[in-house]
Structure 1
Amino acid sequence: MNYSKQLFLGLWGLSLVSLSCEGQKKVDDIVAKGAELTLVSDTFEFTEGPAMDKSGDVYFTDQPNDRIVKWSASDNTVTDYMKPAGRANGLYFDDEGSLLAAADEKNELWRIATDKKVTVVIDNFEKKKLNGPNDIWVDQKEGVYFTDPFYKRSWWQHTEPEQSARRVYYLAANTSEPRVVIDDNYEQPNGIIGTPDGKTLYVSDNGAKKTYVYDISKNGDLTNKKLFADMGSDGMTVDHLGNVYLTGDGVTVFNKKGEQIKHIPVPENWTANVTFGGPKQNILFITAMDSVYTLEMNVHGVRY
């Protein structure tokens, strides 16, 4: 660990004291008393896409190094799970335990079975290459929402997108063709997360630095678009109270009304993504640049 990270983590607890002195004790209650941001490892190049399995372990990506890494909640260790990994970015587990991956190498959506057998779920839309699937959320019906921005990758031969827009798609369960559910001039649709009741979806336009909230219809379509927060997000998650966690400059937490209730600073230039992990889903797992961090919380995730 470099000196700047050591200094930051040493001072991190002091920021909580300062916030309490300003009458924000209620805000601080989402973090466990005395908890400190803990560096798990800084041996990566760029971490992204954390997803928790049913045991509480978290899988995340190190895209430049083309690998998926597993964090073991029981002993706080990290090990390679798959390499190569299709330049995977965002990840999400389905209810059968397969790992969905936004495989950016060939602009595909993958399903990785528990035996690591890979199935290409989607490789095009209307016979044109996708821009580059980025982030994923699976609803109660096993339908898959995914964002499709365009971030030029060094491993691509093409320099311009084949799709005419940067959209959000929905793949209904037991179907092979996705349909467009957001096609309204997003600059860079990126982070995406839904509520466990399947009624609400949050989507970030990271290019426009906005995050929107939608109602989810019974067929998976999105309605009643509203501005949720005047900031974008690379990745996001929700807790059991309905708070929404956005990333970029550390982790910024909003309540269901879109009111900011907390900012969790992270000692990196960019915080890419966040999820809950651990057997009790009370460990906030943060991917940021070359590092991954954990923070014990008083709230918990709602994945399972």
Structure 2
Amino acid sequence: MAAAVEEHTPLQSYVGFDSITKQIESKLLKRGFQFNVMVVGQTGLGKSTLINTLFASHLIDSKGRLEAYESPRSTTEIHPISHLIVENGVKLRLNIVDTPGYGDQVNNENCWDPIIKYIKDQHSAYLRKELTAMRERYITDTRIHCCLFFINPTGHGLRPIDTLVMKKLSDVVNVVPIIAKSDSLTLEERDLFKERIRAEMQYNNIRLYPFDSEEHEEEERELNDRIRSLIPLAVIGSERSVVIDGKAVRGRKSRYGIVNVENESHCEFVYLRNFLTRTHLQDLIETTAQIHYEAFRSKQLLALKESSTKQQQQAQGHA
């Protein structure tokens, strides 16, 4: 069959199909959006505070997380915290997955197993629903879209366990490394620390988000290059308001002065927030589906096919 020849036909009058974008937007707004973010890092690095600062809401109680960490079962049990947040009529179902106890023990061997298992379990649950004969119209998506990896601001470099876990995570999820509590470093120490971490990540072939694609326009590629040049992002979180020049801002006050979370010369929190919520939120969701989940799905379906073929051959051999 010959391929159809595409012709550009000028319209004689207004038809109205250009409203399709508004129709799609209206349906999506009614349904709402879902974003699943995982936080990985040692206790005391301000994971809860940063999430609360990012989404301008008190979503996680730090004290509650510390109590969970003290529980002997906390190192293996991972429970998401779900919140529905609304901004200008847009509903976002935000699922925050904390990983208490990671890297805190004297012996941290295989401490990453529950984290990797949780991510793969969400892929597996989605695949099962997808393959069901009478599947849901809209499958609830619990797949992790973004993993914020918190790095201790030691100024020396990555711990061997951090390198190993980041490498394992990058195979199954979008990893965004951040230097927590970066105000404990001077600007010179911070820049040197970032250089060391970038060199270590490059040496260990750790593939971090955002990825480049041939589908990306030049503008998107330039934006991704700028973000990659900043990673790991040096951030500070704070839910408290401090007054600077008569204006209340989120920040921290010390005997040496005031740190303004949203001041780009103090930290890179603004870049992280813009990146996660204003420019790449939808891309994080799509990349999870098109790259990480697709790789998992292909592997599972090939394994099922091989298993089925083997069973058929064994049945024929017994016949």
TM category, shorter: under 0.3
TM-score (norm 1): 0.27
Larger fraction in strand: 1
TM-score (norm 2): 0.26
